[in-house]
Amino acid sequence: MRTIIDTTAGAGDTGKAGGDKINGMTAELYPGRALAMGAAGMFAGAMTVCSFGTSHMTGSQGFGQTLAYTLQRHHDAYLTFDHRDVLTNVSNSTVVANRGASYATGQASSAHMVGPQLTQFNADVAAGYRYDLMFTDGGLYNDTPGDQAALDLAMTRTLQVITAFFNPDANAGTAAVVWGLFGMNPTLCQSWAAMWRRQEKLSGGRIRFVDTTRVLIDPQSSTPTTWAWRGGSANVLGSVTSDGTHLSHTGCRAVAAILAPVLLDLCPRRFPRGGSYVNSLYNPATLPYADVLGSGAAMLGTQGLDYVTGGGAFPGTIVGAGGQSSNNNTWGLSWNGGLNVTPSITTTADGRRQQTLTVSGSPTDGASITFSYKPVVSDVSNGDATRRFMAGMDLDIVGLTGLSMPSLYFGSPSFQSMPGPGTSAQNEGFPDNTTETLRLRLMRPIPLSGANPLMGVYIPFRAASNISGVINIHDPFWQLMERAA
Cβ atoms within 10 Å of 80's Cβ, excluding its own: 20
Q: What is the mean pLDDT of residues 228-244?
A: 84
Name the pLDDT band for 170 (thresholds 50, 70, 90): very high
Which among 395, 425, 96 is positioned nearest to 244, based on CA atoms? 425
> Residues 420-466: pLDDT tens digits?
555 666 777 888 899 999 988 877 665 555 555 677 888 989 888 89
Q: Which of 86-90, 101-105, 142-146, 318-322 has the lowest mean pLDDT?
A: 318-322
pLDDT above 60 (res 278): no
Cβ neighbours of residue 178 under 8 Å, at least 6 residues apart?
135, 136, 137, 138, 158, 196, 199, 207, 208, 209, 210
CA dihedral 346, 399, 361, 333 (to 10 degrees): 40
Q: First and final CA of the chain: distance in angstroms?
A: 35
Rounded CA gap, 427 and 419, in Å? 15
CATH T-level assignment (fold) for domain 318-480: Jelly Rolls (2.60.120)
- Asked if residues 422 and 249 have their Cβ atoms less than 8 Å apart, the reply is yes
pLDDT score, position 236: 81
- Asked if residues 112 and 105 have their Cβ atoms less than 8 Å apart, the reply is yes
CATH number of 31-266: 3.40.50.1110
Specify the long-range contacts of residues 28-33, CB closer than 8 Å, at least 24 apart: 28/2, 29/4, 31/168, 31/172, 32/132, 32/172, 32/173, 32/174, 33/130, 33/132, 33/172, 33/174
> Residues 12-28: pLDDT tens digits?
556 566 666 555 554 44
> Residues 310-340: pLDDT tens digits?
233 333 344 434 444 445 666 777 888 899 8
Positive or negative torsion for Cα 321, 322, 328, 331: positive
pLDDT score, position 41: 37
Rounded CA gap, 304 and 281, in Å? 15
Name the pLDDT band for 209 (thresholds 50, 70, 90): very high
pLDDT above 70 (res 396): yes
Question: Would you say the CATH fold of 318-480 matches that of 31-266?
Answer: no
**Domain ranges within the chain, ordered by starting residue:** 31-266, 318-480
